[in-house]
Amino acid sequence: MNPVLQLKEVTGGYSLKKPVLHGLSINVNPGEMVGLIGLNGAGKSTTIKHVLGLLKQHKGEILINGHTLESKPMDYRASYAYVPENPLMYDELTVQEHLELTAMAYDIDKKTYTNRVEYLVDEFQMRDKLTKFSAHLSKGMRQKMMIMSAFLVQPSLYIIDEPFLGLDPLGIRSLLDLMVKMKEAGASILMSSHILSTIEQYCDKLVVLHEGHVIASGELNDIQLASGLDNPSLEDAFYALVKDGFKR
């Protein structure tokens, strides 16, 4: 089975002189949810920016469905949907218009769009917000708007950056349910978050980033093993790992 997302020995960052990521290798297989965890500044967001194609790696290769950004830019971009940590909306567009714009940009026909939106709007309780502008929405509602946009596209890869902050409990539940549903339908998810309990419960695989290095990866067992503790929770294992990381 070919991985949907493949990072091969990626070294990168904002400046060539000071790379933030050092030889990162991550695979995300079809139907797999991979959790990216690490402290602030560990390189999670930088990794995501590289995958999105906003930063160019200094060394190594990033493939989505076997294509690099350079070889097939439109296919590469069409293969993923992204939920940013900070919702970014056009000031002039209503929620509904954002959804329509997204559908157009990703070449989704009107009928499919209508079907998907109907479901999402109810799931996230946004029906009465459809004609509202970004300025009239709370952070949580804007976050929901971002999530709806991404799940409207139904790509093979979801890249989700810390989605839970500002989201109400119902929203969190809906998001997790949707992720499971998409995963079961064969999509892959790369998600970064600090909410370790949720990551532990939902992710199939984990990648622990520390100072730009992958210091542990694999299933929960592998992380627990790497921590050297006896059957720890993810939180304890993580703590042990990054504490170790400092010593290295």
Partner 1 sequence: MNDLWNKRVMEFWKEVAPYLKFVLNGGLIAFIVISFSIGSIYYRRFLENPPPDFPIHFLLTCIMLLFIALNPIRTYLREADLIYLVPAEHQMNKYFNKSITASFITQGSVLTFIWILLYPLYLVTNETNSMTFFIFLLMLFIFKWILMLGNWQEQQFQSNVHRKIYSVLRWLISFVVLYVLLTFNSFKGFVFIGIVLMTYFISFRLIPSYMIHWNRLIFVEQQHKARIYAFLSWFVDVPQLSKRVKHRKMLSRSIKLVPFQQENTYLYLYFVTWIRSDLFGMIVRMTLVGIVLVTFLSIVWMKYFIFIAVVYLSGLQILSLRHYHQNMFWVNIYPLPKELRIEGVLKNSFRIHIIIILIISIPFILTITNLILGFVLLALSILLSKIYHRSLGKKL
Taking contact as CB under 8 A, which single stretch among the options 25-33, 34-42, 48-56, 219-227 is the one that binds partner 1? 48-56
Q: How many residues does the chain have?
A: 248
User: Which residues, numbered 80-119, are part of the site for partner 1 (CB under 8 A)?
Assistant: 82, 84, 88, 90-94, 97, 100-101, 103-107, 109-110, 113
Tell the smallest beta-carbon distance from residue 212 to partner 1 (Å): 23
Indicate whether 59 belongs to the interface with partner 1 (CB under 8 A).
no
Indicate whether 74 belongs to the interface with partner 1 (CB under 8 A).
yes
Total of residues contacting partner 1 (CB under 8 A): 31
Tell the smallest beta-carbon distance from residue 51 to partner 1 (Å): 11
Tell the smallest beta-carbon distance from residue 168 to partner 1 (Å): 24
Output 51 or 208, the one with its CB closest to partner 1: 51
CB 148 within 8 A of CB 120: yes
CB 83 within 8 A of CB 162: no
Answer for which of 22, 77, 194, 213 binds partner 1 (CB under 8 A) is: 77
Tell the smallest beta-carbon distance from residue 127 to partner 1 (Å): 18
Indicate whether 55 belongs to the interface with partner 1 (CB under 8 A).
no
Output 77 or 213, the one with its CB closest to partner 1: 77
Indicate whether 158 belongs to the interface with partner 1 (CB under 8 A).
no
Tell the smallest beta-carbon distance from residue 114 to partner 1 (Å): 10
3-state secondary structure the chain: CCCCEEEEEEEECCCCCCCCEEEEEEEECCCCEEEEECCCCCCHHHHHHHHHCCCCCCEEEEEECCECCCCCHHHHHHCEEEECCCCCCCCCCEHHHHHHHHHHHCCCCHHHHHHHHHHHHHHCCCHHHCCCEHHHCCHHHHHHHHHHHHHHHCCCEEEEECCCCCCCHHHHHHHHHHHHHHHHCCCEEEEECCCHHHHHHHCCEEEEEECCEEEEEECHHHHHHHHCCCCCCHHHHHHHHHHHHHHC
CA dist list (Å): 191 to 32, 33, 34, 71: 11, 7, 6, 25
Indicate whether 133 belongs to the interface with partner 1 (CB under 8 A).
yes
Taking contact as CB under 8 A, which single stretch among the options 11-19, 76-84, 177-185, 218-226 is the one that binds partner 1? 76-84
Tell the smallest beta-carbon distance from residue 47 to partner 1 (Å): 16
Q: Which parts of this chain interact with partner 1 (CB under 8 A)? A: 52-54, 73-78, 82, 84, 88, 90-94, 97, 100-101, 103-107, 109-110, 113, 131, 133, 135
